[in-house]
Structure 1
Amino acid sequence: MNNLLYIHGFNSSPKSLKAELTKSYIKEQQLSVNFYCPQVASSPKAAIQQLEEIVDSEPSANWCFVGSSLGGYFASYLAEKYSGKAVLVNPAVRPFELLTDYIGEQTNPYTDEVYQVKPSHMDDLADLYQQNIATQNYMVMVQTADEVLDYRQAVDKYHNTQLIVQEGGDHSFINYSAMLPSVMRFLALQ
């Protein structure tokens, strides 16, 4: 059985547009795929534990990952741990540097959860960094006008993967729905 774990980004949720579009595409195309998209825990350790428990719950399944932003960082970790394929959308490459600006109280705009981003979370994120990756297992999609992340970090890290660089766009990845057939083909789900 094919399982797809979609991992949303920082301060996001399963109700994000890309998550909803992915779920709808699988249903509309009648793909034989179990779609998972949990509300990811707000601390890195809890998030990875939660995501690993989902994958470990069906060890015989073929797991694929789609991750957006911070979810892309988590997807990269999981793809290496479980030797799965992953599609990363405007992925965070070094979130342990980026998220230092967010230390303190945060409110998730989707869920209204109020939580703390702690300095220790930066160490937890750094512990998940994957220096060496199985480049054939990745498709990485970035847009050059991403206002949140420097797309060049992803281009540098994932230059030997199936890399798609689109001019313009933004952090949400404009026209993501048009990429879904390519995403599903790369993951061998369509």
Structure 2
Amino acid sequence: MPITHLLYLHGFRSSPQSAKAQKMAALMAERHPAVRWWCPQLPPSPQEAMARLQAGIADWPAESMAVIGSSLGGFYATAVAERQGCKAVLLNPAVDPARDLASYIGEQTTWQNPGEHFFFEARFVDELRALQAGPLKVPHNYLAIIARGDEVLDWREMAARYAGARVRLLEGGDHALSDFDAHLPLILDFLRLA
């Protein structure tokens, strides 16, 4: 069944202004204007982020919705996909953000707007731990694009977490997936939006 609703989730310290989010938004507007597109600015609190997402997609049909998530957004996308039973595309997804972000407690800035500050609280680490999804219920619902050259996250950990899913393991690459355009045909095909 083709996708009718598409959710895009940005990473930590990122926003809907990220290059990948903007590229997907433009692509959907140009090629698939009938698909409902939503790329919200996620609050720093994981609990609040998930509550906002659940409220925003409450009336979305699970069988024809999908979620794309980058980095921390990939962690959230997995939580959403496990709850909804929908397809998910993961771009260098965070596997254990509670561990990885524990050293980021304090004031942070966003990549796209360094003048914008937010405070990452210690309780957010516990909120991330509480959102950790277990083993994938339906591995073939997932496409994970993982760069061995990711300078932020360990590709081995990502590949192990999404074992059984459709995985594109890139020889080089980087955390931002600077070559994102090269992966669009695969992503669109997986979502049946080609």
Shared topology, TM-score over 0.5?
Answer: yes
Which residue is 1:126 aligned to? Answer: 129
Q: Deviations over 1:53-88 (max 9, x none)?
A: 111143577220000000000000000100110000
1:122-149 deviations in whole A, cap 9, x for unaligned? 1110111112112011000011111111
Whole-Å separation in 1 of the counterparts to 2:33 and 2:159: 30
Give me the whole-angstrom Cα distance separating, in 2, the residues matched to 1:60 and 1:70: 22
Tell me the percent identity: 37
Question: Alignment RMSD, CA only?
Answer: 1.6
Counting matched residue pairs gives 190
Structure 2 partner of 1:42: 44
Amino acid at match of 1:183: I
1:120, CA displacement in angstroms? 1.3
SS in structure 1 at match of 2:43: coil
- Contact 1:64 1:86 (8 Å CA) reproduced: yes
Aligned to 2:92: 90
Corresponding position of 2:177: 173
Instruction: Give the secondary structure class of the aligned counterpart of 1:174.
Output: coil
TM-score under structure 1 length normalisation:
0.94
Match of 1:110 in 2: 112
SS in structure 2 at match of 1:181: helix
Runs (4 or more) in structure 1 with deviation over 3 Å come to: 57-61
Pairs within 5 Å for 1:20-39: 20-30=22-32, 32-39=34-41
Stretches of structure 1 that go unaligned for 5 or more consecutive residues are: none
The residue number in structure 2 matching 1:51 is: 53
Report the CA distance between 1:21 and its aligned residue.
Answer: 0.9
- TM-score, normalization by structure 2: 0.92
